[in-house]
Structure 1
Amino acid sequence: MKKTNYVKIAIYVILAIVVIGFFRNTLGRGMNDFDVVHRAATRVLHTENLYNFEDGHYLYKYSPFFALLVAPIGLLPLSYASLVWLLGMCVSLFFIMKMAKQMIMSDKPPPAFFYILSLLLASKFLAREIRLGQTDFLILLFIFICLLFTERGKEFLAGIFLALSILIKPTSLVFLPYFLYKKRFRLTATTILISLVFLLAPSLVYGFSGNINLLLGWKKIMSISSPPLLAVDMNQSIFALFHRLLTSTPYGVNILNLSYTTVTAIIYTAIVGLFGFLLFLNKKSETIEKPFVHSKESIEYSLLFIFMALFSPLGWFQNYSSSILAIMILVYYVLETNFSKIPPKAGKDKFITFMLVLFFILVDIINFETVGRRLNDLSLYLSFITWGILILIACLSKLRLSRIA
């Protein structure tokens, strides 16, 4: 057996031990965010109100439809339901990475250590996602299925799955302007129509007026609970970045003290600018004859996935699990250009390798266990994770502007 094979086996064994230990610890401590989902599922079964400020910090902030969708899991005790949810998250992540791989390199075998390095770079997001029992993997799975149907020309089915993702978290709405720009009108219309149907679906349980009350309760919960969280450390969205840097906050890291209205205007200008830049990059794809990736729109899709968390007022750092496609594209590029025996004509690209190392330091290396609570908190106040995400955007942009992908 080759020495490299022994190394691979050793790495896989170590990873298996770490993952099993992590899962045991997760189930033992409980998944706080999934507890909220399970509570909502049981409330649907008893036609109880989903939105109650007496729930304290762990408010249910998803749509009434999502509670209806997961209602069957409310039939199980929390311990069994948690196990089912954890297994579902793992299965979702498996298919997410499988579809991302297909989008990047089709049926071509991946380079050595491709999956390991991709998981390593995304580990902070993925581990936190699993630890909390969040819903992002399910959202990403639905969107990837939507993109799969889109590429096959089945826009009606694509619209159904995009609507499913939107009715879990509205962050998926960021895909609609792009699809409109690409003149995928049937997909867009289907998404809007099916979303409206899903919004009305809880009427089957609560009645029409009861469902309206739920929708109003959802709006009230979001409008009241969200503003105080715009600048908290775990929030790594573009909203939090500018609020911490440009307004007077308790964290004391601001460089200016601007009004809320001014900062809001700056934020939305930045969002429009970034989205406009994405459309500019899409125009550049027309000049690429042989893209490095299998699907020419992989760059656009990876940016839209990132924007889901970046443009959300409450973009918790685990929500950047959505950056998995971007990370996989860049890891594939680095492995092929720097370590392949027959690198493509682009040659070695030390810039992107260096930027990925910098991303790994900012996002993964700096944490509570390695630098202590004080420095870790400071890194969150200074939005190190957001800066890391902006590094990914810069790397993806370089690939497109260099006519590589």
Structure 2
Amino acid sequence: MTASSLSGKQSPRYSTSAILVATIILAYCLFCAVQGGDFDVFLDAGHKLAGHQNIYRPPFAKGLQYYYSPFFALVLLPFSYLPFVIPEVAWLLLSTFLLYRIWLLTTRYLNVTVLTQKETKIWIFVVFFLSLRFLLYNYSMIQMTIFLMWATLESLALFERNRPVVGGILFGFACTTKLLPLIFLPYLIYRRYFTGFAYTLLFFGFFLIAPALVFGFEFNTFLLKEWWLVINPGNAENSIEADLGTHSLVSLIPVYLTETHNKINIDRNFLSLTADQAVFVTNLIRLVFVAVTLYFLRSLPFKRNTNKLQTVWECSYLFLVTPLLFPHQQKYAFLYIAPAIIYLVYYLLVSFRIKSQNRYLLLTIFAVNALVFTPFISSDLMGRYPYDVLQHFRILTVSTIGLCFILAFCTAQKLRQKLDVLQPGSSLTRQPKPIESHLRA
């Protein structure tokens, strides 16, 4: 069958499907924008900045604290004069495109040609299904997580292609916007992206002082100090988080070590340490998760990866631990599990293809642990009280830690060996496909 005949027979169906999907996405983005979300807070900060107000003190839009940088408020300042629904719809549509880029930037490290068409569909469906809960949070709240993930992955791709200036601008802006991507800065040094690291720091510093060019050095310094007062990890509210809704090691460990209270009247602490002791233990455990990074890096420092399976495996861990290490993380931040899900589902599909001995056990462990990530864990489906009980016991954080253990077991070396069974020798030397080739495909 010729290419033209294929195009002629299939394009109308695909065109109709594409139009339908695009219409649904546009309608949902418009619905979320009309409802409003955290982006209202961001735009309101830009509007307050125009009036030389303190953007880190009340009043706030929706009564929600602004946690982002002065520069981010400056970027949004021109858009704050529009009806909020316009920039919010535009942001959600951009986020939808960035999701596609995240998929390309992650899967380019993996040999997708070893999967059948059916396996590829399963792969996409499972990844989408396990990410859907967190995608809905990000869309309904009009959040920044998708952008931060994309900016990190895109910057790494730019550094790999020896474009450190552009990568540094993008990554510096991401780090200035919100501090979550900072966890990748030591990684750049470890993997000998010294120039990319230097440009990131350069532009990170520039974006911090850039508002001074508009509002003056004194006012910008004042805002930076106010920002630090809000985000300082040493703040008491960032040491023990007992309330519902926050998820991280800071919200998990202390509540099991010392007595805390919220609206769910169920005891959860099995020890009765002092608050200071509980915080000390929590910080030790956070250091353990940082140290475990060396297990994933699998090489001496200042060496570039020659095997790209190793790159996606170790970066998946860095994304995975980011919401665990930072305090005051909401559910939308756990979209950061997506690269690990992409890698692990691919690992399972390859394992079943070659009929690995422990494939059913691994699938069972993964599936049970992943139940918490599914859209079924919702107050609308479960009821408010059972849902709050799960939050009370920090089950989302526990399952994310479980995902770290599963990822640690499913090493890049094991995956490389499995791929060699399918295509002997190909996975050892394979370089990531150019991003442009994915776009053409």
1:280-339, CA deviations, whole angstroms, 9 ceiling, x for partnerless residues?
2221799xxxx9x9542111111111222111111112101111111111122223332x
Q: How does 1:174-193 map to 2 (within 5 A)?
A: 174-193=183-202
**1:355 aligned to 2:370?**
no
2:436 is aligned to none
Cα pair 1:41 1:74 within 8 Å, conserved? yes
Using a 3 Å threshold, how does the CA distance of structure 1 residues 154 and 79 change in structure 2: closer, same or farther?
closer
1:219 corresponds to = 228
- State the SS of the aligned residue for 1:40: helix
Quickly say closer, same or farther: Cα 1:181–1:285, change in 2 above 3 A.
closer
Aligned-partner SS, 1:53: coil
1:381 is matched with 392
Over 6 Å off, 4+ runs: 11-18, 106-110
Per the alignment, residue 367 of structure 1 pairs with 378
Pairing partner for 2:285 from 256, 265, 270? 270
Is residue 243–residue 261 contact of structure 2 (8 Å, CA) maintained in 1? no
Of 253-262 and 343-352, deviating more is: 343-352
Alignment of 1:72-83 (within 5 A): 72-83=78-89
The CA distance in 2 between the partners of 1:27 and 1:54, in whole Å, is: 21
Q: 3-state DSSP class of the match of 2:268? A: coil
Give the Å deviation of 1:360. 3.1
Structure with greater Cα Rg: 2
Q: Distance in 1 between matches of 2:122 and 2:188?
A: 34
Paired amino acid for 1:326: A
Separation in structure 1 between the aligned mates of residue 236 and residue 282 of structure 2, nearest angstrom: 20
Q: Match of 1:159?
A: 168
Aligned partners of 1:235, 1:218: CA distance in 2, in Å?
Answer: 20
Partner residue of 2:242 out of 197, 214, 231: 231
Deviation at 1:24, TM superposition (A): 5.1
Q: Is the Cα contact below 8 Å between 1:284 and 1:401 reproduced in 2?
A: no
The alpha-carbon deviation at position 233 of structure 1 amounts to 1.8
The residue aligned with 2:58 is 53
Shift of 1:214: 0.7
1:40 paired to 2:45: yes
How many Å separate the matches in 2 of 1:325 and 1:128? Answer: 18
Count of paired positions: 390
Please give the alpha-carbon distance, in whole angstroms, between the structure 2 residues aligned to 1:174 and 1:21: 35
Equivalent residue letter for 2:270: I
Q: CA deviation at 1:247?
A: 2.1
Q: 1:254 aligns to what? A: 269
CA separation of 1:108 and 1:67: change in aligned 2, threshold 3 A: farther
Determine the C-alpha separation between the residues in 1 that align with 2:361 and 2:210.
50
Residue type at the aligned position of 1:377:
D
Where does structure 2 lack aligned partners over 5 or more consecutive residues?
A: 1-9, 417-441
Unaligned 5+ segments in structure 1 are none
CA distance in 2, matches of 1:335, 1:163: 36
Is the Cα–Cα contact under 8 Å of residues 242 and 255 in structure 2 kept in the other structure?
yes
Mapped to 2, the partners of 1:315 and 1:65 lie a distance apart of 22
Contact 1:241 1:386 in 2 (8 A): yes
Q: What secondary structure, in the 3-state scheme, does the structure 1 residue paired with 2:271 have?
A: coil
Aligned to 2:323: 309
Which residue of 2 is the match for residue 94 of structure 1? Answer: 100
* Counterpart-to-counterpart distance in 1, 2:348 and 2:71: 42
Q: Which amino acid aligns with 1:323?
A: I
Alpha-carbon separation, structure 1, partners of 2:269 and 2:295 = 32
Q: CA deviation at 1:219?
A: 1.7
RMSD of aligned residue pairs (Cα, Å): 3.2
- Aligned-pair CA distance for 1:106: 6.3
Query: Identity percentage over the alignment?
Result: 23
Query: 1:90: how far off?
Result: 1.2
